[in-house]
Structure 1
Amino acid sequence: MDRRTLLEALLGDGRFLLVFTALILVLSGLFVIVQSITGHFLPHDISYLGMDANQLSAFNNGTMTRFMFHDRVSFGGSIIAVGLLYMWLAEFPLKNKEAWAWYLFLFSGLIGFGSFLTYLGYGYLDTWHGVATLLLLPFFIAGMIRSYTIIKQGGTIGDVFLARERVDLKSAYGVGKIFLLFSAAGMFLAGVTIMIVGMTTIFVPQDLEYMNITVCGIEKINSNLKPLIAHDRAAFGGGLATIGLLYLFIIRRSAPSINLWQILALSMAVGFSTAIGVHFLIGYTTTSHLLPAYFGIATSIVGLILTYSEMKAPKFQEGSLV
């Protein structure tokens, strides 16, 4: 006899709720990208600034508006990538009762949802973003609670820090894995750096050079611009740090498989194409500014190429953790 309650039946093992969270992240990212590319601010932005995108574009040949949109497109790409990785985690390792996947959801969720607090660094509270976060958070928490029951008994938080296998630097796969891990670590550090910049100086010198303005000049145009831009920067930084963390542990902890290679390639393609592509769309192509991104995409591509053969047809059986 099935003694489950209706709520238990609807919630299932919790993976559906995590996939739902991932889907909302993907759709939200698409919305942010489309809205930015079409040149529109959110109603809340307009209310806070007292001007719309067209009015702001009247200053400095529209570079400030384009600069804001470039941060938002990059953020949109980052949360799409996070959503894709969440779907993979829920459908493959978590479905296979691997405890590390559950704990990775936990760690990345703390960073992703917790990064909302960094928006307050300049006293700006994005109520739209806040409401969206509060609406999505219960689904994520419920999914985490329900899915905890399916991970293997004996699984601990330490599982997420274990490597799947020793890296063989004499093999193409081993070298490729090092490239991917290096790229992942770079993304995490870059994300943390961008969050810190968003909470402190807001701009790097290349930003002001692109906009052809000083910080004081921005304040003269609109005193609310700095807090709003700081919010956008911190949001992108949080998204990028979350991606880096996910990549770092997924690559270290997962057994080679074609679905792993595919999700890495797809999510990296989305993240890098939006983050780098938008710079060319707005004419912000300063080499020193984009160099870390160029390095990141280069190491990622090399890593994906070198690991493809082993990912497509693994030559070894899953063994003991080291």
Structure 2
Amino acid sequence: MPDWTYHPLRPIANALVGEHRAQRMALRLLAGLVALPQGGRVISRVFDHPALPAEWVERFGATVPVEVVRDAIRVLPVQGAGVVEVGPVGRADIAAVCAAALDRRCRVVALVTDPEVGAELEPHVDQVIIDAPADRHYLTEPDIAAAVTALADPTRTVLATPEVLIAAGPNWFNRVIEAAQPATPPPPTLRDVPLDPRRWPAWLWGVLVGIGMIVAGIGAAAITLGPVLLWYDRDYLGTDVEGLHRINHHLVHFLQHDRITMAGNMIAIGVLYTGLAWGGIRLGRVWARNAYLLSGLIGFPTLFYFLVIGFVEPLHVLAAVVLFPMFLLAVWHKPTTRHWTVPPQCPERVRRRALVGQLVMIATGVGVFIGGVVISTVGLTFVFVPTDLRFLDTDAATLRAANSHLLPFVAHDRAGFGGALMATAVAIVLLGLWGWRQGEAWVWWTLLGATVAGSASALVIHFFIHYTAFIHLLPVYFGSAALAVALMLGRPYLMYRAD
């Protein structure tokens, strides 16, 4: 039996470390995560598959070789498999199979050729079979329709072979389960929304939060490009724009660069939230609600950075007070009615190319999250990075001596941007992980809009104020290029419609 894996990291990992090793690394990584305390529960939420139909629970899964049995038994159930067949099991494999089956979360079947080996295994697994009985249907192609058709026969056990799991990626079980669900009613539209706000659906509240974030971002940009400081800023600093110029002639431009970048990120979050609400929650997709929830649970609490910084921005507080209740209304309940159908499969070359794009999108989102953590940490501690001080041609002590409130004021913008970036990253990662599906054009447009808003604002303002240090902008260059590549690779798949 060939080597087995299922992970979207495969194309790049193969090139780096070799195919066999890459397969084992990918499987071992997820298995290790599942083995952690509450790891299985967390990974289940990551794959977020719908429940197996009751009639499939012991009839749908995969067949794997002995060498990966322990990891497969840990990982496949959280992806949606109800049964794992392992074999052929020889006498030398008995101990490994028994150990792997101890903490199983699915039905484990051992395929043997020696009845004596089967007798030893029988107390430790759910079933022992000698050779492959006639009721086994082994899938050798990642054809979702073929899997659903085979499962329609209640006497058949349908198992994906390693070839299928290598080719299909980690969401294959999920796609098969969804394809078997019955056709659903068309999605609601704005015309279906009642006039009474008390009866508004969750997705509408989600759209309103997204629009609110976009409006807030545009407003923040307008203030930054106009007066720069509002009355409460001047009161806190004890000076105005001219006073800041006297402290340092680069300082106003520096504040503008932080705030425009933050404004662009707010617009990006708004685009992501609007897309998740309209394209996901409105259609009954639980994963979209979960992505929205997790992103917001990171973004909204960053308001409390002021407890460390000491500067409270009234408009920031006002936006949070207005939007947070609507956010809660958007995510309080999971969607219960499904409003989509699963399209026929696209050409395999389109899907495989999109898997590479999905990998790039997720990896970039993780990088953005790490960047957000770093920026928040800098904002809450040192405030400036070395390239900032070279641009300002000064040091933090000099600025602090000039105005004791200046560093907390800058820190608020810097740390707040880092927190918003983390919220953006979570939405990007989860859209890439859960929403990267054939025909989901809204996912492509949402990610494109967020990419343009975030990247363009950062690049334009840096070049406008001549803060163009290469090392400072390198993450923006790299992230923007990676997102562009991911979107180009994924576009044919996400936009695909069968004729």
In the superposition, the TM-score normalised over structure 1's length comes to 0.86
1: CA distance between counterparts of 2:472 and 2:358?
26
Per the alignment, residue 461 of structure 2 pairs with 278
| Distance apart, 1:60 and its partner CA | 2.6
| Distance apart, 1:7 and its partner CA | 9.5
Identify which range, 226-235 or 90-99, moves more after superposition: 90-99
Equivalent pair of 2:289/2:334 in contact (CA under 8 Å): no
Per the alignment, residue 223 of structure 2 pairs with 35
Per the alignment, residue 214 of structure 1 pairs with 395
Q: Given the alignment of the two structures, is residue 82 of structure 1 paired with residue 269 of structure 2, yes or no? A: yes
Per the alignment, residue 494 of structure 2 pairs with 311
Q: 1:283 to 1:11 in 2, by over 3 A?
A: farther
Equivalent pair of 1:118/1:195 in contact (CA under 8 Å): no
1: CA distance between counterparts of 2:257 and 2:463?
10
> Quick one: which amino acid aligns to residue 67 of structure 1?
F
> Quick one: which amino acid aligns to residue 272 of structure 1?
S
2: CA distance between counterparts of 1:237 and 1:139?
23
2: CA distance between counterparts of 1:307 and 1:140?
30
Runs of 4+ off more than 4 Å = 6-9, 167-170
Per the alignment, residue 158 of structure 1 pairs with none
Higher helix share: 1
Show CA shifts across 1:32-87 (max 9, x none). Answer: 112112242121111100111232123332x1111111111011011111111111
Equivalent pair of 1:17/1:143 in contact (CA under 8 Å): yes
Structure 2 spans left out of the alignment, 5+ residues: 1-193, 339-347
2: CA distance between counterparts of 1:192 and 1:231?
15
Per the alignment, residue 97 of structure 1 pairs with 284
Q: Which is bigger in relative contact order (C-alpha 8 A, separation at least 6)?
A: 1
Structure 1 spans left out of the alignment, 5+ residues: 1-5, 154-166, 316-322
Per the alignment, residue 45 of structure 2 pairs with none
Equivalent pair of 2:220/2:260 in contact (CA under 8 Å): yes
> Quick one: which amino acid aligns to residue 60 of structure 1?
N
Per the alignment, residue 207 of structure 2 pairs with 19
> Quick one: which amino acid aligns to residue 151 of structure 1?
T
Alignment of 1:48-87 (within 5 A): 48-61=236-249, 63-87=250-274
2: CA distance between counterparts of 1:244 and 1:307?
18
Per the alignment, residue 233 of structure 1 pairs with 414
Per the alignment, residue 300 of structure 1 pairs with 483
Equivalent pair of 2:204/2:330 in contact (CA under 8 Å): yes
Q: Percentage identity across aligned positions?
A: 30
1: CA distance between counterparts of 2:419 and 2:336?
28
| Distance apart, 1:108 and its partner CA | 1.0
2: CA distance between counterparts of 1:9 and 1:45?
36
Show CA shifts across 1:125-165 (max 9, x none). Answer: 223322331222122223333xx153359xxxxxxxxxxxx
Show CA shifts across 1:288-308 (max 9, x none). Answer: 111111110111111111111
2: CA distance between counterparts of 1:201 and 1:169?
47
2: CA distance between counterparts of 1:248 and 1:236?
18
1: CA distance between counterparts of 2:229 and 2:359?
41
* Aligned residue among 289, 294, 301 for 1:107: 294
Equivalent pair of 2:387/2:472 in contact (CA under 8 Å): yes
* Aligned residue among 327, 336, 356 for 1:151: 336
2: CA distance between counterparts of 1:152 and 1:140?
20
| Distance apart, 1:215 and its partner CA | 0.7
| Distance apart, 1:280 and its partner CA | 0.5
SS of the residue corresponding to residue 284 of structure 2 reads coil
Alignment of 1:93-172 (within 5 A): 93-145=280-332, 148=333, 150-151=335-336, 171-172=352-353
| Distance apart, 1:105 and its partner CA | 1.7
Structure index of larger Rg:
2
Q: 1:263 to 1:7 in 2, by over 3 A?
A: closer
2: CA distance between counterparts of 1:169 and 1:139?
39
Q: Given the alignment of the two structures, is residue 45 of structure 1 paired with residue 233 of structure 2, yes or no? A: yes
Identify which range, 297-306 or 35-44, moves more after superposition: 35-44
Q: Given the alignment of the two structures, is residue 224 of structure 1 paired with residue 412 of structure 2, yes or no? A: no
> Quick one: which amino acid aligns to residue 244 of structure 1?
A
> Quick one: which amino acid aligns to residue 74 of structure 1?
T
Higher strand share: 2
Q: 1:168 to 1:236 in 2, by over 3 A?
A: farther
Equivalent pair of 1:94/1:151 in contact (CA under 8 Å): no
Per the alignment, residue 160 of structure 1 pairs with none
